[in-house]
Structure 1
Amino acid sequence: MSPTTPPPTTPPPTTPPPVGGLPKHALIGYLHASFANGSGYLRMADVPAEWDIINLAFGEPTSVTSGDIRFQLCPVSECPSVETEAEFIAAIRAKQQQGKKVLISIGGQNGQVQLTTTAARDAFVRSVGAIIDRYGLDGLDIDFEGHSLSLNTGDTDFKNPTTPVIVNLISAVRTLKQRYGADFVLTMAPETFFVQLGYQYYGSGPWGGQDPRAGSYLPVIHALRNDITVLHVQDYNSGPIMGLDNQYHTMGGADFHIAMTDMLLAGFPVAGNTANVFPPLRPDQVAFGTPASTSAGNGYVAPPGVQAAVNCLVRGASCGGYAPRSGTSPGFRGLMTWSINWDRYYGWEFKNNHEPFLNALP
């Protein structure tokens, strides 16, 4: 399939965009920039104008604990159509001139990052800053998966973490935010296991024996809540998760998106402890992630289901059997997908359905 760049479908906004330069409801996607897979390579210049945040996948460490993050464009041997670095940078500038944000995403499925030492923390700050400066990027996406984050035994208070990999990540991101200032865009794409599962289980638990990764993003999100631009949890590749209705919700339909997102908009007691509540995020900080196609991840939901979930969260309509504890959230930020490449492969179903839908929201 040959990539094409359709013309923008939306007129310029009549009111200035909010802080950070993002539209009220944003379309967010990952671009396979450093590797090829079955979806094929897509040049930055050919990314359609509908995408508001483009996350470059992925920056990865030289070793799990080095903190030294490297990013390079897909090799020609793997991606014959890859652009030159100069062309890539020029295309990023063109996107930014259109008001788009281009971020480096750190981690991914294969990029385990464990900042176990202050030396690794400092290497992370130095190397991520070098990537941002080299390509002139707008910010950073934290996509730590697998075993990157876990809580040491006895680290039971998300408000006061003691585990080095958690403390050092918070410190590193704060340093980068301070370096680049108020316009620095910070997003995160944790899996449900690291966030919503924290309603039931946090770390290894009071008696040990639980998976120490359970809820382990919560202290990071909480510490950086004043700095986070958008948190878009991956509502895919997930097991059943208990919602605020104390029922288990299973991915693959509107209900899962509603229940998982409501937890972030309403807040929740961590590990069931009503004296230890994770406070809600602002609606403009919250989006949710869904696969662009059946090939992109488990838990694909066709456009009508995704839009039913958003209508429930934003308007209080189409809620099915789940009533959001958070009420209605007109400021809900939008939708993230893995990935822009997979969306192109499947004829732009995600973009073509959801961009006009988001623009039509109140």
Structure 2
Amino acid sequence: MPARLLAGLTAALLTTAVLVGTSTAQAAGPHPPAPSATPATDAAPTTTAAPATTAAAVPRHAVTGYWQNFDNGATVQKLKEVDGAYDIIAVSFAEATGQPGAVTFRLDPAVGYGSTDEFKADIKAKQAAGTSVILSVGGERGAVSVNDAASAQNFADSVSGLMDEYGFNGVDIDLENGLNSTYMTQALKSVHDRHGDVVVTMAPQTIDMQSPQNEYFKTALGIKDFLTAVNMQYYNSGSMNGCDGKVYAQGTVDFLTALACIQLEGGLDPSQVGIGVPASARAAGAGYVAPSVVNAALDCLTRGSNCGSFQPSRTYPGLRGAMTWSTNWDAANGNAFATQVGAHVHDLP
């Protein structure tokens, strides 16, 4: 985006911009305006310093994949069968209990494990190979609610307990039915207090990251000192606002780059921003893009090349990488994401 456009981006712009074709899975209604973006300068492309605390196991540029603890028609896998290109595997999903905010995890017999010990051994083997294995909370049907101090404590206690029991490296927040930034931030800080090297990722929907005033965005900023990555879901959303106030259609390189720009200019470090896409056309209702489009977006954001009509005013060579739903759908698609996007992410500057 030209510097004059970035400099002119104001809160009123996002307030008045039109949202088109929002998915029924996303919350409707108005959302607060974003603050003005920081004007770009004519200096050479730069990126912000990395956060002070980051899990050492996660590489500078990382590929994240969700592993399905259920059978929905995609390839059924054990963790040991997940392609080695994935640097972070998010086990999906932890489930709500009868206690507000608390979560638990149970292996689905459909995935083929003979015992919990076998699953734990696969976690250790992946970790020995340099992969972080984390527990994802939520999903489309997730009903975990953290909206007061008590539920925040229950969430932290249960997540920390599952990390200790299974050996998970951290937690992924994939709550698609609302989030309270005050108490989720409190809960995640409590987890971090107990596990200083915790890997924390988030997978908000596009509408949740349209403004730094949205609850998901505020949560990300609230844990910025230890947040690993926000891998927003660039799909199932319809057209959305980019950081220049223009509306972009999903399934395009401009959609990926112009929406990532909101996070990159809204307070997150580039190392905390990833691009989340479906592994195949069958993995989501809409918004699938070929690996070549993901790679073009990564090049545009990190190198300033292969952009579409949207041209960022600066580059972000520290961009964390990319995420996909899911490793199972990727396997059903010949591991195209792991092979093509994975190699490209690991070759980023």
Residue number in structure 1 paired with 2:265: 266
Where do 5+ consecutive residues of structure 2 fail to align?
1-53
**Which whole-Å deviations, capped at 9, do the CAs of 1:275-327 have from their partners, x for residues lacking one?**
xxxxx2111111110000001112000011111111100100111211114x1
Paired AA for residue 91 in structure 1: D
Alpha-carbon shift at residue 347 of structure 1 (Å) = 0.9
CA distance 1:19–1:120, change in 2 (3 Å):
closer
Name segments (4+ residues, structure 1) moved above 3 Å: none
TM norm structure 1: 0.78
Alpha-carbon shift at residue 83 of structure 1 (Å) = 3.9
* Counterpart secondary structure, 1:295: helix
Q: Specify which structure has the bigger relative contact order, considering alpha-carbon pairs within 8 angstroms and separated by 6 or more residues.
A: 2
Residue number in structure 2 paired with 1:5: none
Give the one of 134, 139, 148 matched to 1:103.
134
Residue number in structure 2 paired with 1:186: 200
CA distance 1:238–1:98, change in 2 (3 Å):
same
Does the 8 Å CA contact 1:96/1:102 hold for their aligned counterparts? yes
Q: Separation in 2 of the partners of 1:252 and 1:286?
A: 19
Q: Separation in 2 of the partners of 1:264 and 1:116?
A: 24
Alpha-carbon shift at residue 134 of structure 1 (Å) = 0.8
Higher helix share: 2
Does the 8 Å CA contact 2:55/2:198 hold for their aligned counterparts? no
Alpha-carbon shift at residue 111 of structure 1 (Å) = 0.9
CA distance 1:68–1:225, change in 2 (3 Å):
same
Does the 8 Å CA contact 1:43/1:83 hold for their aligned counterparts? no
Alpha-carbon shift at residue 23 of structure 1 (Å) = 2.0
Aligned residue-pair number: 295
**Which whole-Å deviations, capped at 9, do the CAs of 1:143-194 have from their partners, x for residues lacking one?**
1102x32xxxxxxxxxxxxxxx33221111100001111x211111111111
Give the one of 114, 117, 121 matched to 2:148.
117
- 1:45 maps to 2:80: yes
Q: Separation in 1 of the partners of 2:221 and 2:348?
A: 28
Give the one of 57, 63, 66 matched to 2:100.
66
TM norm structure 2: 0.81
Residue number in structure 2 paired with 1:126: 157
Give the one of 13, 25, 40 matched to 2:61.
25
Alpha-carbon shift at residue 19 of structure 1 (Å) = 5.5
Residue number in structure 2 paired with 1:56: 91
- 1:303 maps to 2:291: yes
Does the 8 Å CA contact 2:261/2:312 hold for their aligned counterparts? yes
* Counterpart secondary structure, 1:29: strand
Q: Separation in 1 of the partners of 2:295 and 2:264?
A: 18
Does the 8 Å CA contact 2:102/2:144 hold for their aligned counterparts? no
Residue number in structure 1 paired with 2:339: 352
Q: CA RMSD in A?
A: 1.6
Q: Separation in 2 of the partners of 1:84 and 1:47?
A: 18
Q: Separation in 2 of the partners of 1:222 and 1:361?
A: 25
CA distance 1:282–1:47, change in 2 (3 Å):
same
* Counterpart secondary structure, 1:217: helix
Q: Separation in 1 of the partners of 2:243 and 2:182?
A: 28
Q: Separation in 2 of the partners of 1:170 and 1:296?
A: 30
- 1:312 maps to 2:311: no
**Which whole-Å deviations, capped at 9, do the CAs of 1:319-338 have from their partners, x for residues lacking one?**
1211114x111111111000
Q: Separation in 2 of the partners of 1:296 and 1:127?
A: 30
Does the 8 Å CA contact 2:85/2:343 hold for their aligned counterparts? no
CA distance 1:83–1:30, change in 2 (3 Å):
farther
Paired AA for residue 126 in structure 1: D
Paired AA for residue 118 in structure 2: E
Residue number in structure 1 paired with 2:32: none
Identity of aligned residues (%): 38
Does the 8 Å CA contact 1:288/1:336 hold for their aligned counterparts? yes
1:186-265 mapped onto 2 (5 Å cutoff): 186-196=200-210, 198=211, 215-265=214-264
